[in-house]
Amino acid sequence: MVPAEANFEFSWKEHEVTLDDGTQVTLRSPEIAISELAFGPLGDGAMIGARRSPPVFGLGLLDAIPQETIDELAARDKPDGIKGRVNYVWDPETQQTVPGRFGLKANHPSLREQIAVAFFNDIGLSSPLYPEQNCPEIQKACEEQMLFARPEITKRRLAGTEMYLRALSVPARRNVDDPQVMRGEELFDQARCSVCHVPELRTGDFETFPQAANQVIRPYTDLLLHDMGEGLADNRPDYVAGGRDWRTSPLWGIGLSKVVNSAHNFLHDGRARTLEEAILWHGGEAEVSRDSYASLDNADRDALIAFLESL
């Protein structure tokens, strides 16, 4: 058994925000303390941040969106200081710098690479893309665990996992004709949310998975990086992405979060317990949208949330 590397303590720091009608909302952010380091102090420049696992359905459809479409979304004129840019990342398979589209910071070039790096970093399993064990030199017991196969995830198993995730379909929307949901959709657009959470895209020719080709999809994302402000900053750069940058998260299926996870936890680190909290954490390029939501009366806020819950 591999000895523990350290002891982690996780706590929440809370603060209140007041909406325009006087409603108060409590927001929280995570604080992480690390102690009992088994291998000495963390190295210079070590960065710490919490991460929540993102949904894994619809990835095949996102993979089938032509890069030209994403480039066009980055280049188009946008209102209210909204920008959006492509991350450029290293592809270990092609040994080239290519556009990224997967991951919280669009820091993975392909679904296959994202799966391989998740096996590698999250579970500690090697694969054809990352054939060595993820162990510091000082951690001898870790290296000794790779006993049965090199790599542990074979080429065939990696391909099977990729196909499974590529084929996971998106949940169907609910309550589409509900007047409150329809009103919420109008408010979503008026608040400029749809500039980044683009409602409708089209997949292209896609030989890798023809079932995903040439479809109109509604993922509510542009797959671009946006500066989300200091409140959400993790101060962790990732290729072109800076410490305040995050990829626009797809919103399809977000209304079923509680059904799937038995709890509401939103944003990259799960700090938001409600969709309202998630909206109120938006800053930077999304500040206008956040302030627009904060200015709504209670009925319109409920309508916008009802729309999100219908996705």
Torsional sign, CA 134, 136, 139, 144: positive
**pLDDT tops 80 at residue 104:** yes
Q: How many C-beta atoms lie closer than 10 Å to residue 179's C-beta?
A: 10
Q: What are phi and psi of 157, to 5 degrees?
A: -70, -40
Q: Domain boundaries in the chain? A: 7-310
pTM: predicted TM-score of the whole model, two decimal places: 0.94
Q: What pLDDT is recorded for position 148?
A: 63
Average model confidence (pLDDT) for the chain? 93
- In the chain, the percentage of residues whose pLDDT exceeds 70 is 96
Q: How many C-beta atoms lie closer than 10 Å to residue 221's C-beta?
A: 23
- Residue 37 to residue 48: CA distance in whole angstroms: 14
- In the chain, the percentage of residues whose pLDDT exceeds 90 is 79
pLDDT tens digits for range 10-62: 999 999 999 999 999 999 999 999 999 988 888 888 888 899 888 899 999 99
Residues paired with 159 in a beta bridge: none
pLDDT tens digits for range 117-135: 999 998 888 899 999 877 7
Who has greater pLDDT, 210 or 263? 210
Q: How confident is the model over 188-202, as a mean pLDDT?
A: 98
- Residue 58 to residue 62: CA distance in whole angstroms: 6
pLDDT tens digits for range 267-302: 999 999 999 999 999 999 999 999 999 999 999 999
pLDDT tens digits for range 130-181: 998 777 777 777 767 666 667 889 999 999 999 999 999 999 999 999 999 9
The helix (run of H) or strand (run of E) holding residue 106 is none
141: its two tokens: 């017991």
